[in-house]
Structure 1
Amino acid sequence: MPTPVILMIEDEDHLAAVVGDYLRAAGYQFHHLATGTGAVDWIRQNDPDLILLDLMLPGQDGLSICREVRLRSPVPIMMTTARVEEIDRLLGLELGADDYLCKPYSPRELVARVKAVLRRTQPPDLVRAPGLLQLAADRLQVCCGEQVIILTAVEFALLTALHQAAGRILSRQHLMNLIYADNRIVSDRTIDSHVKKLRRRLAELVPNTELIHSVYGVGYRYEEPDQPS
């Protein structure tokens, strides 16, 4: 298996040098860009396995880079920020980020988070179950007949949890525990935001069909039209 390539887009050179040492020691290839200018082109040409993306960058800022990358690729993106007020936006995946770290952070914690995100995004090759959807985990793809969409890592983890428990109600807390295994404190609206975006993506595959059902005050249930209640 090729050594995963981690791209860090960070204007603090000393921080990037320290993080690079830790990631190389953990067995990863590391590349650093000190500005957002040209970052999207570099990502398109080099196809890294994970991106560490600072929010505030010279040139193109991290938010717009994340938006552009998400138009073309499901590559895992971990945002780093000193702006605590941005955390809900990042966690809500309005931008398509998979994880975040607040500055200042421990390089050891960052390496642990990188490992966790890569494990989430590289599960066994195919999740098969009867019904409308087939989930290709190694590509973060969801298929329905000939139609295919690509999800973010967190969207895919959320769909997988609901899909595998089809017909059962999963609470928001249970879903948060599955997606954020490091037990961080996040709000219920984080999961609601994930579900809202996931529903929009699934509507591209199965128009006019509700697959993820809200259960008021409890959580969510995946159920296809031909499944018994």
Structure 2
Amino acid sequence: MSVKVLVVEDEPALVDTLEYNLQRQGYQVSVATDGTQALRVARETQPDLILLDVMLPGLDGFEVCRILRQEMNVPILMLTARTEEVDKVVGLEVGADDYLTKPFSMRELLARIKALLRRVRLVREEMAGAEREEGGEPVQTERFVFGDLVIDLGRHEMSCGGRTFHLKPKEFELLVFLARNRGIVLSRDLILERVWGWDYDGGSRTVDVHVRWLREKIEEEPSKPKRIVTVRGIGYRFEG
């Protein structure tokens, strides 16, 4: 089945351009022109990726992103004419996976879309611990266990303190990368390259935002972390 992309944009000319180029790439395209419609269409179609403009009638893109992020793990690429760094940070904090400033080239947009979809696919393949052997028996799911913190790669979920969390794709990918490298100091640049990809230009603030989200779920006192420790001037170390 073709990949489903939801375009949330209120500029008719840009909508036509995006729809045409995405369909040429084989994507199945749905369109919403305001925030309320975006929520409805996203819930109905369950897209594989969302292109979300910030400046929308009614609910703006930040609010739409915040609401959708609570309901689904779909990758969200925000489109905006704004260039201020604070807007990029707000976009990341409400759950966007990537951020592209207008005007942009269609080639760059398509490359970003393919990169996002590729990362999601690779994570799902890596986390799918229920692959079957030739005889048809499922392979045992890989798990990381650190006390009451359990990271289940097969189910793509994390539990801590008796609660189960279905993390956003990048949150889970980051947590797995940290867990695989327990006790090792990892720089923000290295984390960006391994989790977001070498071509990601969102800056190291992205890492800090996602670490903060994880700490809120796995630390007894997020302001005094014991599992994801900050190494001043370098990055982070996972202690389990």
Relative to the length of structure 2, the TM-score reads 0.81
CA distance in 1, matches of 2:4, 2:200: 26
Give 1:180 shift.
3.2
Aligned to 1:30: 29
Aligned to 1:134: 151
Q: Report the 3-state secondary structure (helix = DSSP H, G, I; strand = E; otherwise coil) of the residue aligned with 1:53.
A: strand
AA aligned opposite 1:48 = P
Q: Which runs of 5+ in 1 are unaligned?
A: 225-229
CA distance in 1, matches of 2:15, 2:153: 33
Please tell me whether the aligned partners of residues 98 and 152 of structure 1 are also in contact (alpha carbons under 8 angstroms): no
**In 2 relative to 1, CA 140–107 (structure 1 residues): closer, same or farther, beyond 3 Å?**
farther
**Pairs within 5 Å for 1:21-60:** 21-60=20-59
Larger RCO: 1 or 2 (CA < 8 Å, sep 6+): 1
**In 2 relative to 1, CA 54–60 (structure 1 residues): closer, same or farther, beyond 3 Å?**
same
Question: What is the alpha-carbon root mean square deviation over aligned residues?
Answer: 2.4
Give 1:176 shift.
1.4
Deviations 1:53-107 (A, max 9, x none): 00001122111111111121111111001101112332xx211111111101111
Aligned to 1:179: 195
CA distance in 1, matches of 2:49, 2:164: 22
AA aligned opposite 1:102 = T
Aligned to 2:63: 64
Q: Report the 3-state secondary structure (helix = DSSP H, G, I; strand = E; otherwise coil) of the residue aligned with 1:80.
A: strand
Please tell me whether the aligned partners of residues 140 and 152 of structure 1 are also in contact (alpha carbons under 8 angstroms): no
Q: Report the 3-state secondary structure (helix = DSSP H, G, I; strand = E; otherwise coil) of the residue aligned with 1:154.
A: helix
More displaced 10-residue stretch of structure 1: 126-135 or 24-33: 126-135
Q: How many residues align?
A: 218
Aligned to 1:150: 166
Aligned to 2:6: 7
Give 1:26 shift.
1.8
Aligned to 1:19: 18
Aligned to 1:200: 216
AA aligned opposite 2:25 = A
AA aligned opposite 2:90 = R
Identity percentage over the alignment? 40
CA distance in 1, matches of 2:225, 2:206: 23
Aligned to 1:89: 90
Give 1:186 shift.
4.3
Report runs of 4+ in structure 1 exceeding 6 Å deviation.
none
